[in-house]
Amino acid sequence: MTTTTAQSSSAERRSAARRPARTPQQRRNFFWGLVFTSPAIIGLLWFTLYPVLVSLYYSFTSATMMKPAQWLGLGNYESLVSDSSWWDSLGNTLYYIVVSVPLGIAVALFLAILLNLNVRGQSIYRVIFYLPAIVPLVASAVVWLYVFNPQYGVFNTVLGWFGITGPGWLASPEWAMPALIIFSTWGAGNLMIILLAGLQDVPQDLHDQAKVDGAGVFRRFRHVSLPFLSPHLLFALVTGLIAGFQFFTPVFVLTNGTGGPAGKTLVSGLYLYQNAFQFFKVGYASAIAWVLFIIVGLGTALVFRLVGRRVYYGGA
């Protein structure tokens, strides 16, 4: 905005740049724009910027719920490196994400494709598949406690029909995490709706044309539907990744807040909660939060790098 012309005009421009608007109309718009967005601006400062800065500061201190902060420098971050529970929680989180995100997308996509065949009773099926996603997580988690019960539960009863002796699920170190993943997949309805909307945007004439050219169902899906669906799938991948790192409520309810058995379901979100609100280690919890945040950021960037360029935006 700086100018190379005469002194006076440079001063004039500078003051013009400082002034928010020029004409009365613009000035009025600027005023009203500020008025209308002021709640968000105050909210941003109060509920986002301030806590983000404080959390960053805490992460370098020994703050607890009772004691004021003492500067530690990188102390908390150094402790994290040698904290085996933290590494375990990270491993459990990655296990959860790596299995549940693709599985959830696959199930949601399969359901969306089935519903897109325009079968009779579509709206009833849609409601049935969507329902698990909207009922309170706490209540459905409690229900699944009973579903997963090794003796009296539905799961092992049905497995028994096929001659399989089911595992102890939530009581078993190996099967507790798969149980949580199954429970999460049951809630894939949200994603199904989004993918269904994407499928319904695929131009029908492109499909018809491919059909005339002799393309089968799979080829048509691969070459016609999939490109149109790719932005939705990227959206699903990124939101799934972010949500996966925040996975909390089901594990809190199903394991009674312990992350058991044998710490096999201690995910990052739970470990963070425990440190902050059970051990009251505010500084340490903040360091956990920041490392997680950085991991999520890098993970998201990686997804965009690897997958982003394959996304086709022609349909939107």
Partner 1 sequence: MAVAQRTALPAQRGAGWNKLAEKVVAHAFLIAISVIFMVPFFWMVSGSLKTGVDLNAFPVVWFPKTLTLENYIAGLQVFPFARYLFNTLVICAFSMLGAALSSSFVAYGLSRIEWRWRTPLFVVILSTMMIPFYVTMVPLFTMFRSIGWTDTYLPLIVPHFFGVPFYIFLLRQFFLSIPKEMSESARMDGANELVIYWRIILPLAKPALAAVALFQFLTSWNDLLGPLIYLSDADSYTLSLGLTFFRSEYSSQFGPLMAASTVVVIPVIVVFFFAQRTFIQGITLTGVKG
Residues in region 193-212 near partner 1 by CB under 8 A: 193-194, 197-198, 201, 211-212
Q: Which is nearer to partner 1, 194 or 206 (CB)?
A: 194
The reply to whether 130 sits near partner 1 by the rule CB under 8 A is yes
The reply to whether 37 sits near partner 1 by the rule CB under 8 A is yes
**Total residues contacting partner 1 (rule CB under 8 A)?**
102
Residue at token pair 């939107």: 316
Q: Which of 75, 126, 150, 304 binds partner 1 (CB under 8 A)?
A: 126
Q: Which of 46, 87, 279, 312 binds partner 1 (CB under 8 A)?
A: 46
CA distance 141 to 162: 26
Give, as ranges, the residues between 53 and 92 that touch partner 1 (CB under 8 A): 54-55, 58, 65
CA distance 99 to 270: 19
Residue pair 45/275 in contact by the 8 Å Cβ criterion: no
CB of 306 to partner 1, least distance (A): 18
Q: Which of 149, 159, 168, 304 binds partner 1 (CB under 8 A)?
A: 149
CA distance 171 to 186: 20
Q: Which is nearer to partner 1, 29 or 70 (CB)?
A: 29
Q: Which of 257, 261, 263, 308 binds partner 1 (CB under 8 A)?
A: 257
Q: Which of 10, 19, 43, 164 binds partner 1 (CB under 8 A)?
A: 43
CA distance 255 to 252: 6
Quick note: the x/- pattern for partner 1 over 88-107, rule CB under 8 A, is --------------------
CA separation, residue 5 to residues 112, 115, 216, 223 (Å): 63, 66, 68, 58
CB-based burial label for 242 (10 Å; 0-12, 13-18, 19+): middle
Q: Which is nearer to partner 1, 73 or 136 (CB)?
A: 136
Give, as ranges, the residues between 282 and 311 that touch partner 1 (CB under 8 A): 282, 285-286, 289-290, 292-293, 296-297, 300
For residue 300 the two structure tokens come to 């998201």
Give, as ranges, the residues between 13 and 32 that touch partner 1 (CB under 8 A): 20-21, 26, 29-30, 32
Q: Which of 1, 8, 24, 36 binds partner 1 (CB under 8 A)?
A: 36
Q: Which is nearer to partner 1, 47 or 71 (CB)?
A: 47
Q: Which is nearer to partner 1, 253 or 307 (CB)?
A: 253
CB of 7 to partner 1, least distance (A): 27
CA distance 139 to 254: 10
CA separation, residue 153 to residues 11, 138, 140, 174, 180 (Å): 79, 18, 14, 18, 15
Residue 185: in which H helix or E strand, if any? helix 176-186
The DSSP symbol for 188 reads T
Which range, of 71-79, 87-95, 153-161, 302-310, touches partner 1 by CB under 8 A? 153-161
CA separation, residue 49 to residues 35, 239, 245, 284 (Å): 20, 22, 21, 20
